Structure 1
Amino acid sequence: MKDIVATLIDQALTTLRSTAEWPEDLQPSIQLERCKDKAHGDLACNVAMMLAKPLRSNPRAIAQQIVDALPASDDVVKVEIAGPGFINFFMNEAANFRVIKDIFAKGEQFGRGDAKNQRIQVEFVSANPTGPLHVGHGRGAAYGASVADMLAAAGYDVQREYYVNDAGRQMDILGTSVWLRYLQACGETLTFPSNGYQGDYIADYGRELHASHGDQLMRSAADVFDGVCADEPAGGDKEKHIDDLINRAKTLLGDDYRVVFDKGL
């Protein structure tokens, strides 16, 4: 019903702008509210009061001009001017049910928009693969999927994107963290880096790696930390410390580095 009335008001305003009294560039926003009391009608519009200042006229007089310019419509039974200049519309009850035919005719396409030739990419979830999933990832999945579905319903060409960050420095930190926990599982004593992955799940992976590969990947802690920059708690640089450890892991393990990397991955 709001669309029907808004169209009628817009047509009336177009007619009035064609007269010498109304400026052609006058484009008020048409706002419609449902009447709280059905005795006052179904919908009320305050456009006349919005136009009072630019037209320098009494809002009730403006409202009367709009009402007089309204096109005839079988959907509107009666129009009244109320209070300081509200325009109240009494709708034909049949207008409430006309949409039902439209719903049956359009089926699943009912309510969908037609944003032609407009593409949107929605990236969502993209959970950090270096740690366990948590409830926020589930929330992001539901929210992102809903946003993408609504945009698609509006007619956009939507691409849903999920980035898996399974390469680069962070993954190397993960793989090296797993290896260091593996070394501890082998019985080596070492100070775990402050910038490594601290979760208990990393220790679990280290133990699993030891169970599946035995001492195949073991190197002495002395060799591992040889030439490695001191960690931050010892007055060093934690970023360089972990990068040095990554380089030592790659050097000492060679092709086997991929084994610990893939375990983390």
Structure 2
Amino acid sequence: MTRYHVPTGGHPGQEELTTDRAVFTDAYAVLPRGTMRDIVTSRLPHWGSTRLWVLARPLSGFAETFSWYVVEVAPGGGSDRPEDDPAAEAVLFVVGGTARLHLAGEEHALEPGSYAYLPPGASWRLHNDGPGNATFHWIRKAYQPADGVDVPAAFVTHESQVAREPMPGTDAWATQRFVDPEDVRHDFQVNIVTFGPGGSIPFPETHVMEHGIYVLEGKGVYLLNRDWVEVQEGDFLWLRAFCPQACYAGGPGPFRYLLYKDVHRHARLG
């Protein structure tokens, strides 16, 4: 059965240790799930009964190409004006509860595993009519147009409708790609990567793509630049371009994460 970690907030007691795995460097950052507490939530204009954890935002020395929120919408909450930036495109990925998404004149029932791509300027609304909280990841990027290349169309799908594609030579490492990796209309991708127990990235990837990673399930050990760091479901990682990276899955079950990367555009100069 597919599981997705859902943060619940709360506040640690005074008897808890302060020391944790949180780290911020010029090459990577790790925000463990224990950092997602009530006192670090944010609110947004035009969103009712909603709070969010901002895991990444464009910032000198941090994420350059994207922002990443984990959004919690209480029953009866939502928004008719969710996005105030006409250049922003986004992916929504639901991990808990249910919600209604109105997108380009159509209504979609969202549940855990639902995935929506929202192009820049998309007309959309989202509301929670269910009995419990609706929780979803909202990953935003300023769309980078290319001359003669169409803007991608909006779509909604579900993880169960997207095949796991094994990496060459192994069944222990697979990726679910929600858009065609050859489609240059898209300037970013958000995929799900899954490792079976003992699976690994067997070399230090060092590449131009910036990454955001949210661990949906399981645990593993990640190579971040020169450091091996234990991570578990609910943790968020940021990796700057060219940060060496690799991992080993740990534990008895799958190690799965949601992965952002920027693709298919010239490097901006100056």
- Taking structure 1 as the reference length, the TM-score comes to 0.21
**Which structure features the higher share of helix residues?**
1
> Which TM-score applies when normalising by structure 2?
0.20
Larger RCO (CA under 8 A, 6+ residues apart): 2
Higher alpha-carbon Rg: 1
